[in-house]
Amino acid sequence: MNWLLILLGFSLLIILHEGGHYLAAKATGMRVERFFLFFGPTLWSFRRGETEYGVKAIPLGGYVKISGMNPEEELPPEVEHRAYYRQAVWKRIAVVAAGPAVNIVLAFAILATVFYFNAQELDQQVGEIRSGSPAAEVLRPGDRILAVDGRSFSGLGTAERLKSFGNQVSTHRCAGAQVEGCVASTPVVLRISRDGQVRTLTVRPEYDAAAERALIGFSYGVRPAEISAGAAADRALEVMGTVVSKTASVFSRIFEEEQRKQISGIVGVSDAANQTLDRSGVDALLLLALVSLSLGVINLLPILPLDGGHIFWAVVEKLRGRPASLRVMERATVIGFALVMVLMVIGLTNDIGRLGSDVYDVR
């Protein structure tokens, strides 16, 4: 059932993306010949008006065929004036940008809606405890952290207080080099509330190389919170900004091995989606939003055959006062297609390398 939902989710993103192109093309007077989901042999199709709609066999994307996308395409005289390359530059940019724009707007709508109706805030109670961690020896889920090393940070809000607790723990360091798993030379003193009684516990944190600081090994619980629609929108924009920034960072440093390892292909995304569906519908919606955002952002990269490549060359045409030659466009397409294939191979290679590991365990 999960895999069917995943296929439906990905199909929805493709339909909405291509639907953006389709509606913008229709609105600007262009002739849309085909609107197909997926690629390969046609499984089912029908014609309505001048457009053929259908589904193909290979579930790897979709496309909208607009007359005149090839400058040398021969068209009947009665439709030549509606060809893509006969339109003003701004119309072409609007049509190409509409697909990624729909994905980005959809991501914002999903994120803002989830944050508004499912707002949560951190609580001082202990939530999940990592197995084998120092916390597993002294803490229990539901314990309420009152103070760390005698400091309660009572003048701060909950989020700031919990961050200060973490910063206080990080002041405890190993005696020698700070390496993965080394134990702090001094213990952290925790004052907690358990079953209505206040207790004092001591625990020695361990250094976590990924976090670059000492950790006890637990996460705080969460509780429902109420936020305004504006605050939900702000949080959605903040998350989107972070995702875009991280995506740009990965692609700008793709020749670094650690950055390449962060790229996932369709196998990795599908596996993560399967796990989030097992966890909750909310997590699945959040993943759908992030995939939609990533689809929109990646499609805006200025390389052909991606949408961003068409926008780039349309802008070049506007600045030069004439379009680039067909030969230049063909070369740019070949180079761009090669880059896209390299990204797909890197993603697939990373996915294969992760098989059998717990990397995709989003819990």
Q: Are 96 and 69 in contact (CB under 8 A)?
A: no
**What three-state secondary structure class fits 61?**
strand
**CB-CB neighbours of 58 under 10 Å:** 10
Alpha helices in the chain (DSSP H): 2-27, 89-117, 135-138, 158-169, 229-252, 257-260, 266-279, 281-299, 307-320, 326-354
Cα within 13 Å of Cα(172), Cβ side: 24
Structure tokens at 148: 């760390």
Nearest to 288 by CA among 22, 71, 107: 107
Residue whose structure tokens are 């059998």: 356
Catalytic, 18? Answer yes
Q: Are 98 and 307 in contact (CB under 8 A)?
A: no
Structure tokens at 179: 């390496």
Q: Are 185 and 173 in contact (CB under 8 A)?
A: yes
Task: Exactly one of 18, 33, 121, 258 is catalytic; name it.
Answer: 18
Residue whose structure tokens are 């001082």: 124
Report the DSSP pairing between strands 188-194 and 197-203.
antiparallel
- Which of the residues are catalytic? 18
